[in-house]
Structure 1
Amino acid sequence: MCFGQISIIVKPHCALLCLLLSVSAVLSIMGNLLVLIMAFKKSSKMKPPELLSVNLAVTDLGAAVTMYPLAVASAWSHRWLGGDVTCIYYGLVGFFFGVASIMNLTVLATVRFIVSLNMQSPKEKISWMKVKMLCIWIWLYALIWSLFPILGWGRYGPEPFGLSCSLAWAQMKHEGFSFVIFMFSFNLVLPIVIIICCYFGIAIKLYFTYKKSISNSNRVPNIIKLHRRLLVIAVLISTGFIGCWAPYGMVSLWSIFHDSNSIPPEVSLLPCMFAKSSTVYNPLIYYIFSRSFKREVKQLRGWCLGSTSCQVSNNINNSIYMITADVRNPQPETAAQSSSREITELRTMTLG
């Protein structure tokens, strides 16, 4: 494993690269810290499935803290800082948190789908023990896969542009090719298929529930509006992560089946940048699409500024999950009898 001179094509862009990495680091760390702070503030009211959203924020924050500082410092120095040991560390933590994130999204989509099927049974809930076991499984699964290259199945190495490390794709075309096949199958293709099927199933369930509600009344129940917004948030989060990592996966596969030297350094650099930026988007999606999360952030900002005008969320808003949208009070008086039932269904269907 050897780190030579940075390509003359990439070196002039190191200052811009460093700026982008620095901005991404600040946004990622601050955004995911906010998500965790909001979860800590309402930990006593937290529902078991909400722990999966907290776990996702932990994976994003962990990736940002362990990877961005070294990447920024290397970009400023126009060379990789450290040697082979540091390279293995960087590749290992990147692969570890990447697998943990995609599996967390897969488990979250599966749990959402299961809950949506049981929305007519409010007493049937996801227990704390089950969610904790799922979170432990996610971390152990990611750890096992990240240790495989250390144990000899696959290997870590420098990226072509010389400023970071990852799986040594070009070197694995002859050594560890089976690792590449299994890794892409179980950590990219299969999770994507599961996520798509689960959210497609939720969309179908939501559609038939909507049609049934419209046939019984002339208004759309609040639970349908909320669940629709939840589905949008979930799909955006999953699409953002997959969209960030898909270009990197395509370039990596190209380097496996073709000569890696045929890929210009700046072409291999851009997908890597997209992959690193995946830790930034989730807090932004929460803030844009979740009224409750936006309100909590504004209240925290007011508290930090010594403001006494912050209002405490009402009981209905406290009962929903951290990244869910608000439930608007039904305006017609005739809807009062159905509000209690909708809130009960809301607690069963929604996930943070």
Structure 2
Amino acid sequence: MPSQRFISVMGNIIVITLSSSARQLRKSFNILLINLALSDLGINLFSLPLSVTSSFAGQWLFGDQGCKVYGALMFMFSINSINTLAIISYVRFIAISWPTWDSKVQNRRYIAMAVSCSWIYSVLWSCAPLLGWSAYTLEPFNTSCSIDWYSRSLSSLSYNISIFISCFGVQLAVIVRCYWLIWRRGSQALRRRRAHWRCKRTTRRISRTQNRLLKMCVIVVILYFVAWIPYAVLSIWTLYFGMDPNIAASVLPSLIAKSSTVYNPIVYVLMHKNVKKAANVILFCCSAGVKRLKVVTSSGSATSDL
């Protein structure tokens, strides 16, 4: 798993660097992609040193306070990730359903406000256990920490039900609803286009760009929920039926959920045209630099032999 997290860290750093530096990627919508990459990066940067060292030792090494900080940070970044996916689905819905509103919704000011609200929302829910509403505790395999899903106290039960609705259910409903409406609107538009084959080239090009971006967003969302739904199911099982069946059954969903941070940068590079183009430019420059260095080194060694 350390290699997986290293790949995730490097991949998200590359996406953030490209999106921040490449001129063609400095668009309002890419602020959301950067925000998602920051959450993925945060999960790995804070979990990598603590959980890996604890895994090698076979037990949690950083005490009760370290467990609380670890759990709060992991939960905060996770909430921000799903919030960002919900915002992306809404922005895509507006862009495709009401193109005249697209420029207003994707205004940098509104995107920045949405991102800020997402972080505030995430901080409030993740800090609640630190203030006494439920708690963070060790997971069954004793090498990482999470929300206390196992306590039967009123505080823990009320918090767990609340976060399942407010930090998973609501976002999932928004995402499913938006993409279902996009699919329905797209089907109607396809029928209209078939009835009117003659359309302008620019309109077709814009449609292809929107479709490519939509496909990328849908794949990111599907991969995210494929990774997190087993953990959500395990949490519900623990919430209603008590302790999970065995340690192996609790380890696997947690590992799968944390692996979701690896997928996003790969999807961006493969499907986002501008990110792929910027990555190719960087790879070309790096390879050219390596070749030039080899030439200089070989010529220097030849001169020294003479």
- TM-score class, shorter-chain normalisation, is 0.7 to 0.9
Q: Do the aligned partners of residues 265 and 150 (structure 1) sit closer, same or farther apart at CA in structure 2, a change above 3 Å counting? A: same
Give the AA of the match of 1:212.
R
- Decide which of 285, 291, 298 is 1:303's aligned counterpart: 285
Give the AA of the match of 1:283.
P
Paired position in structure 2 for 1:265: 247
Paired position in structure 2 for 1:242: 225
Q: Do the aligned partners of residues 122 and 89 (structure 1) sit closer, same or farther apart at CA in structure 2, a change above 3 Å counting? A: closer
* Larger fraction in helix: 2
Counterpart-to-counterpart distance in 2, 1:285 and 1:164? 28
Paired position in structure 1 for 2:163: 183
Give the AA of the match of 1:74.
S
Paired position in structure 1 for 2:299: none
Counterpart-to-counterpart distance in 2, 1:44 and 1:294? 11
Provide Cα deviations, 1:126-165, integer angstroms capped at 9, x if missing partner: 3211111111101110000001001111110000111110
Check whether the contact 1:118–1:124 (CA below 8 A) recurs between aligned residues: no
Give the AA of the match of 2:250.
S
Normalising by structure 2, we get a TM-score of 0.87
Q: Do the aligned partners of residues 121 and 272 (structure 1) sit closer, same or farther apart at CA in structure 2, a change above 3 Å counting? A: closer
- Decide which of 111, 128, 136 is 1:156's aligned counterpart: 136
Counterpart-to-counterpart distance in 1, 2:13 and 2:152? 37
Q: Do the aligned partners of residues 301 and 168 (structure 1) sit closer, same or farther apart at CA in structure 2, a change above 3 Å counting? A: same
- Decide which of 274, 284, 288 is 2:270's aligned counterpart: 288
Paired position in structure 2 for 1:128: 108
Paired position in structure 2 for 1:348: none
Counterpart-to-counterpart distance in 2, 1:44 and 1:293? 9
Paired position in structure 1 for 2:187: 207
Q: May I ask how many residue pairs the two structures share in their alignment?
A: 288
Q: How does 1:82-93 map to 2 (within 5 A)?
A: 82-93=62-73
Identify unmatched segments of 5+ residues in structure 2: 291-306
Matched, 1:194 2:187: no
- 3-state secondary structure, aligned to 1:305: helix
Matched, 1:225 2:208: yes
Q: Do the aligned partners of residues 33 and 101 (structure 1) sit closer, same or farther apart at CA in structure 2, a change above 3 Å counting? A: same
- 3-state secondary structure, aligned to 2:188: helix
Give the AA of the match of 2:44.
A
Moved more, 165-174 or 149-158: 165-174
Paired position in structure 2 for 1:49: 29
Shift of the alpha carbon at 1:25? Answer: 1.2
Counterpart-to-counterpart distance in 2, 1:152 and 1:105? 29
Paired position in structure 1 for 2:125: 145
Identity %: 29
Shift of the alpha carbon at 1:97? Answer: 0.4
Matched, 1:112 2:92: yes
- 3-state secondary structure, aligned to 1:100: helix
- 3-state secondary structure, aligned to 2:133: coil
- 3-state secondary structure, aligned to 1:87: helix
Shift of the alpha carbon at 1:278? Answer: 1.3
CA RMSD of aligned residues (A): 2.2
Counterpart-to-counterpart distance in 1, 2:267 and 2:142? 32
Provide Cα deviations, 1:72-107, integer angstroms capped at 9, x if missing partner: 111111211111011111111111101111111111
